Amino acid sequence: MKPSSKIPVLAIVLICSVLCAVSCKKKPTPPVVTTTNVTAITHTGAASGGNVTADGGAEVTARGVCWGTSADPTVSNSKTSDGKGTGSFTSTLSQLTPGTPYYVRAYATNEAGTGYGNQVTFNTSAITLATVITTGANVTGTTAVVGGNITSDGGGNITARGICWGTTINPTVNNNKTTEGTGTGTFSSTITGLSSGETYHARAYATNNAGVAYGDDVSFVATGDKPTATTGDADPQTGSAAYLYGVVNPNWSQTVVTFEYGLTAGYGQTVTAYQSPLGEDNNDYDVNALIDGLEPGKTYHYRVKAVNALGTTYGTDKTFTTPGGSPTATTGDADPQTGSTAYLYGVVNPNWSQTVVTFEYGLTASYGQIVTADQSPTGADNSDYNITSFIDGLESGKTYHYRIKAVNALGTTYGTDKTFTTPSGK
């Protein structure tokens, strides 16, 4: 009997089953994903994510969100990469533009392609003006320190900050201003060269892309007032010179100091103090000046005068008397040389005024003859001068009367009468 040429039925069934399994296997499709609503929106960032609910029959090798400023963004736009596989995930969007609308879709990728979730939209926060606080002013004389604090940048970079000030309320950066760097936080500015007694206004400011923001206006007064001035005691040096003294406080404003003086309370003459002008502070300054060309033995009026931008102050009127008066004169002993000549001697103190010195002599106490002393006139000081004079034409053997005479602007003084006798001739 010949073998059967037909394949057994069972074998045919097995072969068909294998071929069917191979040819009938389902091909994979892109994953199924949903998009999470956007949260945590700021000026430049946001949060989103998605949920891969089906892998499409193949491993999910990439997932995340993609976004752009046009509808239906793809992975060709900006995107995140948030792992693999199915399930939910979160994504962080960054480097966004403030005040801009965006479109977002979650995505998931397998070997069949990329699947996208539903599209959601949101707007980033717009940049606003910064939030600025003016923290007050600390004034010292004509200098003020004003502070500021930037508590919010408004979503933009702070590119400039500082203090602006002026003499009218709510100054701006178009007025005087300082520049104190960038960024948020506290700062302070030192403002100098203010005018004493002037009221100023100041505000902190901060600049970002939205513009310039200002803190509240604060006002302050540059401290200061007209100076104080006290007349001190004078110190006469000679009959023609004296030192004048006083105390002046400039009261935060540069101050010019002079002394007024003269023979009456109308003064008439002025001299600038050595220490003038005084600085812009609140110190008491000892001031002085030397005056000369005075008259000996005279009473002078004087006072200190202080002038700054806020006013003029006069010290009280005081007086001093220059040394001087009539000269003193003492007749010395004569020294007859011959029957016809003699030296006359004396001592004179000019008492601070130039003095003319002569000797009077003659055969009686009425004298009748005069000779000028060799040392005449004397200086205008308070020294004792030894005075001499040589006389001739005398008669021998005669007794002569003589005395010294001293004259200055304040009077005339005569020495006592004395006598000498010339030698007798043979």
What are the domain boundaries of the chain? 32-123, 131-221, 228-321, 328-421
In this chain, the answer to whether the domains covering 32-123 and 228-321 adopt an identical fold is yes
Phi then psi for 22, rounded to 5 degrees?
Answer: -70, -50
Tell me the per-residue pLDDT of 298-313, one tens digit each, with 9 for 90 and over: 999 999 999 998 899 9
For residue 175, count other CB atoms closer than 10 A to its CB. Answer: 15
**CA distances in angstroms from 3 to 9, 14, 15, 332, listed in the order given:** 15, 22, 21, 191
CA 287 to chain centre: 25
CA 189 to chain centre: 11
pLDDT at site 223: 87
15 pLDDT above the threshold of 80: no
In degrees to the nearest 10, what's the CA dihedral of 391, 394, 396, 398?
-100
In this prediction, residue 132 has a pLDDT band, given cuts at 50, 70 and 90, of very high
Length of the chain in residues, anyone?
426
**CA distances in angstroms from 383 to 242, 379, 386, listed in the order given:** 18, 8, 10
In this prediction, residue 225 has a pLDDT band, given cuts at 50, 70 and 90, of confident
pLDDT at site 131: 97
Higher pLDDT: 43 or 150? It is 150
- Strand blocks (E) in 250-380: 256-262, 269-272, 285-291, 299-308, 311-314, 318-321, 328-331, 335-336, 342-349, 356-362, 369-372
Q: How far apart are the C-alpha atoms of 102 and 69, rounded to whole Å?
A: 5
pLDDT at site 187: 97
Phi then psi for 304, rounded to 5 degrees?
Answer: -90, 150
Tell me the per-residue pLDDT of 341-391, one tens digit each, with 9 for 90 and over: 999 999 999 999 999 999 999 999 999 999 999 999 999 899 999 999 999
Span 193-216, mean pLDDT? 94
18 pLDDT above the threshold of 70: no
Is residue 368 within 8 A of residue 414, CB to CB? The reply is no
Phi then psi for 74, rounded to 5 degrees?
Answer: -125, 180
3-state SS class at 160: strand
What pTM, to 2 d.p., does this model score?
0.60
Is residue 227 within 8 A of residue 307, CB to CB? The reply is yes
21 pLDDT above the threshold of 60: no
Span 130-135, mean pLDDT? 97
- The architecture in CATH of the region 32-123 reads Sandwich (2.60)
CATH of 131-221, one of 2.30.30.110, 3.90.950.20, 3.40.1010.10, 2.60.40.10: 2.60.40.10
pLDDT at site 11: 55
Q: Any idea which fold 228-321 has? A: Immunoglobulin-like (2.60.40)
What are the structure tokens assigned to 401, written together?
């009367």
CATH top-level class for 328-421? mainly beta
Span 163-183, mean pLDDT? 96
Instruction: For the chain, give the mean pLDDT.
Output: 92
192 pLDDT above the threshold of 70: yes
Span 155-181, mean pLDDT? 96
Tell me the per-residue pLDDT of 306-350, one tens digit each, with 9 for 90 and over: 999 889 999 999 999 999 999 999 999 999 999 999 999 999 999
